[in-house]
Amino acid sequence: MAGAAPAPRGSPGGRRRLRDDGVRTATSAEQTKVEDIVQEVFDAYKNHHHIPQFILQREKHFHYLKRGLRQLTEAYECLDASRPWLCYWILHSLELLDEPIPHSVASDVCQFLSRCQSPQGGFGGGPGQHPHLAPTYAAVNALCIIGTEEAFGVIDREKLLRYLHSLKQPDGSFLMHIGGEVDVRSAYCAASVASLTNILTPALFAGTAEWIARCQNWEGGIGGVPGMEAHGGYTFCGVAALVILKQEHLLNLRSLLHWVTSRQMRFEGGFQGRCNKLVDGCYSFWQAGLLPLLHRALHTKGDPALSMTHWMFDQSALQEYILLCCQCPAGGLLDKPGKSRDFYHTCYCLSGLAIAQHFGSGDLHHEVVLGPPENRLATHPVYNITPEKVVRAVMHFLQQPVPSLEPAAE
């Protein structure tokens, strides 16, 4: 498949444009507009490459990311409450590109994230901010990516466990922060940090798996809370949390599979987040990342229809979309042609590219790398840091006992 040109529209098994059956709506008009722009990209590529090659512009992305670690433009002021996220998005993108993080930079990140850690446990969006599960997840992931004793030592595990307990609700769900909202993101963030740092206990997650299962709706995907519309980000969070808790069987897996595979766009090759929405590069991970988790769950149940060579989506089409439509010529990746680059989309486009390049693991491992071998990336589909960093963090914290929340004896 390496070097193959995008399949022409209308070809058997190739790209298919939207058919609106003669009923034009605002939704269909926007979809047609995106398809026209993507068609221009594919045509330009085909016309300028006699021997097509899909190239991941590693060097340009590296320089864009490297600048972002030290200095951000004023446009990022709106993310002042998401600074651990910026650390994670950039560090994960760099590790995907196999770019080493200088020791001095890694140490500076550790010191910065230690200032984001709350005296009550967990991490806030910046120094002095209230703790919140989203930046807690981002901070723990960033520290695990760095993977040094200094990085691991930043995390106050006992206070983190107390903080997670303070967010736990009687129905099994978690608040995102004290006095905040409940949704399935919080269950995933809690399960992810707890499992990486060896503070996951049965008491902490009692009822959580059952609550997540109630968030699966008639569409097959998972909404933010029970009864809400299925959404790619929430679905990933719910399924990944259930994988960590070893409770995937609580879901209707076949219905979920139907929903997520229907989210891959027939023309663009990328994924949408919800039914009737536009393609977005970030869902290259949030949606495609579900397929390895689903494959494993269905394999465990002995499903005879599973392929033993590829995930249940068009892996090559997703790689085409990312490599042709989501790379900014100046470095960084983006949502779709015409949009601006940013660190969020850089992180999740690269993560989705990594998912699409591999099938299976261990002895049953197949690579489907579009373009030259240098395009190859790798990430863990549950935690979205590299598999080696997951192992290093888990092995480090397994050497430490689970903190006791019992008051110390006088």
Query: Mind telling me the catalytic residues?
Result: 231, 274, 277, 280, 282-283, 335, 342, 345
Dist CA 196 CA 358 (whole Å): 23
What is the 3 state secondary structure string of the chain?
Answer: CCCCCCCCECCCCCECCCCCCCCCCHHHHHHHHHHHHHHHHHHHHHHHCCCCCCCCCHHHHHHHHHHHHHCCCHHHHHHHHHHHHHHHHHHHHHHHCCCCCCHHHHHHHHHHHHHHECCCCCEECCCCCCECHHHHHHHHHHHHHHCCHHHHHHCCHHHHHHHHHHHECCCCCEECCCCCCECHHHHHHHHHHHHHCCCCCCCCCCCHHHHHHCCECCCCCECCCCCCCCCHHHHHHHHHHHHHCCCHHHCCHHHHHHHHHCCECCCCCCEECCCCCCECCCHHHHCCCHHHHHHHHHHHCCCCCCCCCCCCCCHHHHHHHHHHHCECCCCCECCCCCCCCEHHHHHHHHHHHHHHCEEEECCEEEECCCCCHHHCCCCCCCCCCCHHHHHHHHHHHHCCCCCCCCCCCC
| Integer Cα distance of 122 and 273 in angstroms | 29
343 φ/ψ angles, rounded to the nearest 5 degrees: -70, -30
Look up residue 21 and give its two tokens: 């059956």
Give the count of beta carbons closer than 10 Å to the beta carbon of residue 230: 24
> Which residue bears the tokens 């594919």?
42
CA distance 323 to 353: 8
Which residue(s) pair with 327 in the sheet? Answer: 333
Q: Can you tell me the distance from the alpha carbon of 77 to that of 31, in angstroms, rounded to the nearest whole number?
A: 31
